[in-house]
Structure 1
Amino acid sequence: MNTLQAYAHNFFFNVYPYLCLAVFLMGSLARFDRDQYTWKSDSSQMLRAGTLRWGSNLFHIGILFLLMGHTVGLLTPHWLYEPFISPERKQVVAVVAGGIAGVVCFIGLTLLLHRRLSDPRIRLTSHRTDLAILIILWVQLTIGLITLPYSFGHEDASVMLALSDWAQRIVTFQPDAAGLVPLAWPYKSHLVLGMTIFLLLPFSRLVHVWSGFASLAYVFRPYQLVRSRRLNLPGGHNTPPARH
């Protein structure tokens, strides 16, 4: 690795993650504070519902499974799951489950992208950022699916352990990307593009994912008590308040 490659590697895997995380958090907060009316997904269901129903359901099911799987798979310490499952078997489970979810998500996203590009009315009402983020997600899913054959070629789970070690060092503020140097280009491209999606999220329609997480608070929200109020008038006559 020459000097330029070493510099780029250090930037993208030791510095870029924190830059993306800072923009992701601060940008989301700033948008919520300044432009709350844009905090939505801009549904086009009224223009064409059929393809949207299939595409949206498949995409959301797949992307939620992938997000949860990547988070748990990368950030779970090795010593925590080692008594129950070996790294090699864990990699097989991750590749099979992630592959199925990736294909489901890819089909749904392809339907959504085709819908926006093929329907003139939807294309005219779509923001450029809508199309851009769908294309970026489609490319990201494509690269993710390309990594599957590479993963089957590493039966010792060395790549999975290297990725997990890098991710856990990032979240514990001990960045060290040395273990990523020998990885194939699909892995590195997948990581960089994935971080870029978080960088762009506050400026796109994807910001509405925060609302999905926030809605979970309603499960633990106490019931709202509503009591009727009556006016006590002279003579013991109670009259309900006037309606406004």
Structure 2
Amino acid sequence: MSEKSNAPSLSRRDVLKRTTAAGSAIAVGSGLSAAADYSGTIDIEIWYADGADPDATSDQLRTAADDIADQTSVGTNITQIQNTTDSYPTGDASEIISDFRDNQGYDINEGQINLLVFSHSPDTNLDVVGLNHQGVLKPDNDPVVVLNDYFQFHPNSRVLKNLAITGYLRPILGGHADAAPAAGDVNSFGKVYVNDGSANEVSPLASWHAPKAWDCPNHLNNLDGTDDNIDSGCQQDDVPTACGYSRSLTSCTILGVEQHMQDNF
């Protein structure tokens, strides 16, 4: 059973509010440069494992895709949302990805993000996977992202959306990890946006990798991969602690995504 998406979200809606001219080089310390006004479309297919409910989270996953299109010259298009009868009860991310590939076979398409949404509760297993991916998005590659829908129960409704954005973008930025602010660490494309010192907000890519303030509510830190803190980020040598969550993509993230899509699509 599958549900076709509505019309795709196209390029950023405010027509490149940044002041740089299209195609001009920008020195950001990462070796990345600005892309043209339109840099292609990220196609995304979403698969729901047995036990994961599309009615509970699909709207948030669509919003996350729209958030990317709003802020970049890249379009996003959720091509299909599918329910499956396959279950993924245990295992680390590599095992889940391998089982997913075995289960779906040739139905996993190249040139798109293939997102598997599954449901694992950290209350039952201290090694539960939160979010991970395998592969780089290119026309002849079939990257897979796995996302635990347990994030929907976090008290901040922005959390699942941020993790979905991260899942969509890691297969793109992962190919440029050597140009990341902290070389080799794709999570360092994110940052903490500092407000009044008590409401600091974490961007996508850094959402579960920036240091947590001691009093942050319910961080679900027993999900795998949520506690390997980054110590530098986009335009930040020292990453401060934070509790909040921002949809805003960093300049490093925007440039990396636009350049990758323009170069490869």
Q: What TM-score results when the alignment is normalised by the length of structure 1?
A: 0.30
Higher RCO structure, 1 or 2 (CA under 8 Å, sep 6+): 1
Q: Which has the higher helix share?
A: 1
Q: What TM-score results when the alignment is normalised by the length of structure 2?
A: 0.28
